[in-house]
Structure 1
Amino acid sequence: MNSQQNMSTNSSIDDCNTPSHLTYEILSWVMVVQFMLGLPLNLSVLYIFIFRFKFWKNKAIFLFNIVVADFLLVACLPAKAYHYRHHQRHSPNDVVCKTMLFMLFLNRGASIAFLITLSIDRYFNVVHLGRRNFVKILKKSPQISIFIWLLLLPLTIPTMVKTFECCNSHGRKVETYYHDVTDTFREIVFFIQIVIPFIVLVYCTVRIVNRLRKKTVGEKTKLRRAVCVVLSVVVVFSICFLPCAVARAVLLSVRLKEWQAAEDIVVQVYDSLMVLSYMDCLLDPLVYCFCNSGFKDAYITSFCPAVLRERLLKYDYGLGTTTTTSNTNTTTSGNKTIILPIVEK
């Protein structure tokens, strides 16, 4: 029995060492770049939401929660890069490892939950226009956001196991009924958090696009903007969440069949796609711009150079055309044109 346990422990350690030093050194540099871009970007977005856009007055509470989720991710990137540089797939320190896993998967769950909520809101506003939109009611209550975070905790806690990140499930340790059930539950939670929201997202997108095609006159502008919102969420899902779920399913299959040579390759693909999934902290601001033109205008007037400011403010990202924005006042003094933002609507 002791020999079996030692073999299990050694297998766990081996599974969590990097199979290729070069691959993980490259991935560590990718995460360093993500951190260097993500930290100032998300700090600037946070500044706009709090001090310029005043999210609590502009019904953007869900967007603000996505920013908070992205900060959880950005905070983990330096430590994750450090471990990859030292040829470890996770921290050997149990507390650090569990904290990292908790924050990473809480970010993933929160980002998916609030992005899907935005898509459902657009779906009801377009497809079921005139009916009572429960999402619109929820947006006015900050308590709902707190409830969503609390609801995510039971789904995130099962992933706080060191062997989960290394996909060390089913047959990789001394199997008991308890281990088998908990491993299965963790995998089910991981896939449900991605697959079901993606199905909902595809459904909302198809219905909104069909509505746009049937609309010949009237509110085509509103419909196009709704399409841009859901398509931007589809892009985030397609790049950040779906590929790593597919790779994990392949990795589980390879490990159950004990194809060691194939496993060494699939592990690197899976970890590479997980690093790619951290791009959501860089892509989410695009969703903010498509979702709320007020945020876009406030951000441009605060951080964009004066040369580009007027041109960007006039460009409607939902339409691909130039329009006159209602969020700025233009004051002319001599040969200078000064654009003053109006944040509150």
Structure 2
Amino acid sequence: MPHATHTNAKLAPAGRLALARCIVDAHWPLRRAAERFQVSPTTAQRWAARYRQHGPAGMADASSRPHHSPRRTPTRRERRVIKLRATRRWGPARIAGHLGMHASTVHRILTRYRMPRLAHTDRATGRAVRRYERDRPGELLHVDVKKLGRVPDGGGHRTTGRAQGKRNARATTTTRRNSHPVLGYGYLHTAIDDHSRLAYTEILADEKKETAAGFWQRAHAYFASAGITVQRVLTDNGSCYTSRLWRDALAGAGITHKRTRPYRPQTNGKVERFHRTLADEWAYARAYTSEAQRRAALPAWLHHYNHHRFHTAIDGPPASRVTNLSGRNN
């Protein structure tokens, strides 16, 4: 495989050949030729010697790889690294600890064998996940629901400790017929645009078909206000999304409904990843003392996410990819 010319090289292969021919064939003095081609006499001498030995073929870049690598990890050990990665889905640090190696060495081996990052593989099969992104806003929206435990009055165990959190929960909960206390859940309904990652989220009481259909009407209005025309919606196979009510809500607006393959939630991975970000940066980011306090913080966080938070996959906030979105600098 030919090697690319170094970015700082003063001579391309054609220039090297011209220099060498001036010295070897035309018998130019070494210093005169070096001055003519604006290189050092040492460089001119090196290409002239290469031309005498190999002819024009010697003007191409040679490999910088050493002939011998006595400190390279043995092939047998490299195979063990690859086997552990493929069969157990371990990262470099864990493989290194198991084999008594440096994590940096394991990382270089995985890179050399072009093993995909664990975050880019399917957990069930270990195969690389094919990433995609739609070309324009509105071509595809991901919709999903995440169940989230409510915060008891006074704070939960994450902020007050397990003992006090349990006492707060008992004081806040309702009671079922069998006398077991139930704090309950909130349901995060989310729609996120595939191209821009612009998101719309509401906390609702359940995930029934009527609730999901009502959420979609409001989400659709939000994206329309941003100048986004929705063409397709992708959901999982939950009962609220397989209902006639949901089908009619999309069909009435001329929107195509697509569903993920059964037991393949990664197909809807963008909304799954958004929910993880939502949990880390809003739901469990502060010591909330009540569910009402946490819910009151959601609009401000969602505005920050859409308008200001840097998204590494798109090199900016979602608003940077939506032309007509208002309130970017608020």
After TM superposition, the score normalised by the length of structure 1 is: 0.21
Report which structure shows greater RCO (CA 8 Å, sep ≥6): 1
- Choose 1 or 2 for highest CA Rg: 2
Which structure has greater strand proportion?
2
After TM superposition, the score normalised by the length of structure 2 is: 0.22
Which structure has greater helix proportion?
1
